[in-house]
């Protein structure tokens, strides 16, 4: 799964759609409109994987022991958002 993201404005996308279609094969492309995320372009294979995971885990409560390795690896490969740091004090350091 891609890890880097390319951010562009909708005007940039309109001026060079082929470039960003190619770029989306390597990493997601965030298209913004008026400075806010509007659309995301990503590789069809990556989209299919996300769709399959969504279908598999839709409306399902699972115990952590029921998660398969691919799902766990996917979760662990994603960066932790900076805004999540505000919750660090909710857990002792030993649990992090």
**pLDDT by residue, tens only, the chain of 96 residues:** 445 888 999 999 999 999 999 999 999 999 999 999 999 999 999 999 888 888 877 767 778 888 889 888 888 888 888 888 788 777 766 554
Classify residue 24 as exposed, middle or buried by CB count within 10 Å of its CB (0-12, 13-18, 19+). buried
Q: What pLDDT sits at residue 10?
A: 95
Q: Residue 13 has what pLDDT?
A: 96
Residue 1 lies in a domain: no
- Residue 24 falls within a domain, yes or no? yes
Which CATH number covers residue 80?
3.40.1620.10
Task: Flag whether 46 is in a domain.
Answer: yes
d(CA 13, CA 9): 6
Q: What is the reported pLDDT for 4? A: 82
| Domains contained in the chain, number | 1
Q: How far, in Å, are 5, 24, 92 from residue 16 at the CA level?
A: 17, 13, 48
- Cα separation of 38 and 52, whole Å? 23
pLDDT value for 34: 94
Segments forming the whole domain that contains residue 63 = 6-95
The reply to whether 57 falls in a domain is yes
């Amino acid at each position: 799964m891609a890890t880097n993201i390319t951010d562009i404005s909708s005007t940039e996308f309109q001026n060079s759609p082929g470039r960003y279609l190619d770029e989306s094969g390597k990493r997601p492309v965030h298209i913004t409109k008026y400075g806010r995320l509007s659309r995301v372009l990503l590789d069809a294979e990556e989209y299919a994987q996300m769709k399959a995971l969504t279908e598999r885990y839709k409306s399902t409560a699972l115990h952590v022991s029921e998660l398969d390795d691919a799902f766990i690896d996917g979760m662990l490969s994603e960066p932790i958002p900076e805004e999540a740091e505000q919750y660090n004090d909710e857990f002792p350091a030993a649990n992090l």
